[in-house]
Amino acid sequence: MSIASVGFEVAKIGASEFEFSDPYHVALTVHWPTFVAGVFSLYTLITSLFAGLYLLQPGCVANARNPPDYFFFSIETLATVGYGVMAPVNLYGHLVSSAEIVTGMAFTAIMTGLVFVRFSRARAKIVFADVAVVSQHNGRPTLMVRIGNGRTTLLTQTSVQVNAFINEDTAEGGRFRRICELRLTRGTLPIFPLITTFMHVIDNESPLAVFDLATLSESDLRLIVTVQARDPKLGAFVYDHKSYAASDVRPGMRYADAITVQESGLVIGDLTRISSLEPDTAFGDANPEKHFEGLA
């Protein structure tokens, strides 16, 4: 099974993408076209099954003369809609139609609940910059990731975590993939109205200090940015994440301004410029063979 939800593809052996012993999870995680096709397929299967049961005793439904008549009568019964033209006329017909009515009521209730849950799930609508940057900030090399609030409403209680996946060789000669949390200068915001940048200082204690400018883009580094925020309009927390490969980290660049202030005092955030970059002149004389810790 392949998984690409975190921005890069991984595979699992011994796990199934569609675990039919947990149909609720399957119904909520499949894409909308698959869900709609599944509902119609299941509906067709149920109506066809009951139409076959009616056909086992021809004449159990009044005015039903051929298989299509039994099939359409099954649809009307499953939906508990009777037009008065066709109706069960004996005990067998009444038993089958009663079972189909109960099945139809249960099917409608379950599908209504699933559609409601799928529509009611809160989504974050966080806009991430296409790349992360490493630029000088207060005289020190700093990893920066910029995100924007894609909603027209305010988000509150926003928290961000940045983790790095780094491969390292153990003393025994093995290969170990280590997950390191990158300490941010500030990882929480009381309010999140427009655009903000989260920063990690690359000092001697930073897991990124082992990299240098020349080899960073060719390394196997992977950054995972996770965001949690509360949407007051929905009254719920929303979540989002983005993955950055080493080639998505741009040393010597910085984010261009995406926020302007008008004379009236109105602050405008331009989400179309959230990924705009410009050279960081402070990195102009940096030796690419040096590690980040030696650039400060």
Q: Are 149 and 265 in contact (CB under 8 A)?
A: no
Q: Are 228 and 239 in contact (CB under 8 A)?
A: yes
Report the CATH number of the 2-120 domain: 1.10.287.70
Q: Please report the pLDDT score of residue 14 as a whole number.
A: 62
pLDDT tens-digit readout, 61-117: 999 999 999 999 999 999 888 788 899 999 999 999 999 999 999 999 999 999 998
Instruction: Looking at mean pLDDT, say which of 41-50, 242-251, 286-295 comes out highest.
Output: 41-50
Q: Are 166 and 180 in contact (CB under 8 A)?
A: yes
Q: Please report the pLDDT score of residue 23 as a whole number.
A: 84
Q: How far is CA 47 from the centre of its chain?
A: 35
Kindly report, as residue ranges, where domains of CATH 2.60.40.1400 are found in the chain. Answer: 126-294
Q: Please report the pLDDT score of residue 3 as a whole number.
A: 47
pLDDT tens-digit readout, 286-295: 554 555 655 5
pLDDT tens-digit readout, 1-10: 444 445 556 6
Instruction: Look over the chain and give the mean of its residue pLDDT values, rounded to a whole number.
Output: 85
Instruction: Looking at mean pLDDT, say which of 26-35, 105-114, 163-172 comes out highest.
Output: 105-114
Kindly report, as residue ranges, where domains of CATH 1.10.287.70 are found in the chain. Answer: 2-120
Here the contacts of 150-154 (C-beta below 8 Å, separation 24 or greater) are 150/125, 150/126, 150/271, 151/125, 151/231, 153/231, 153/232, 153/233, 154/191, 154/192, 154/193, 154/232
Closest CA to 85 of 100, 63, 107: 63
Torsion of Cα atoms, 211 then 215 then 218 then 221, to 10°: 0
Report the CATH number of the 126-294 domain: 2.60.40.1400
Tell me the percentage of the chain whose pLDDT exceeds 70: 86
Lowest mean pLDDT among 11-25, 37-51, 130-144, 240-254: 11-25
Q: Please report the pLDDT score of residue 143 as a whole number.
A: 92
**Residue 224 in this model has a pLDDT that exceeds 90:** yes
By CB atoms closer than 10 A (0-12, 13-18, 19+), residue 277 is: middle
Q: Please report the pLDDT score of residue 73 as a whole number.
A: 93
Q: Please report the pLDDT score of residue 261 as a whole number.
A: 86
